[in-house]
Amino acid sequence: MSVMRPPYISKLAFAFCLVVAGGKVNAAALHDAARTGDADKVKQLVAQGGDVNGRDENRETPLIEAALADQPTAAAVLIEAGADIEARNDRGFTALHASAYSGSQSIAALLLNRGATVDARSMHKITPLHVAAEQNQTAVAEMLIARGADVEAIQGDGFTPLSRATFYKSAQVMALLKRHGAKCQPRETVGSSQAACLAAGN
Is the domain spanning 118-201 CATH 1.10.579.10? The answer is no
Is the predicted pLDDT of residue 23 greater than 50, yes or no?
no
Work out the mean pLDDT of the chain and round it to a whole number. 88
Q: What is the pLDDT of residue 94?
A: 97
* Domain range list for the chain: 118-201
**Entry pTM:** 0.86
Is the predicted pLDDT of residue 2 greater than 90, yes or no?
no
The Cα–Cα gap between 43 and 111 comes to 19
Q: What is the pLDDT of residue 56?
A: 86
Which residues lie below 8 Å from residue 102, measured CB to CB, with a gap of 6+?
Answer: 67, 68, 69, 70, 137
Q: What is the pLDDT of residue 200?
A: 85
Is the predicted pLDDT of residue 161 greater than 80, yes or no?
yes
Which residues lie below 8 Å from residue 169, measured CB to CB, with a gap of 6+?
Answer: 196
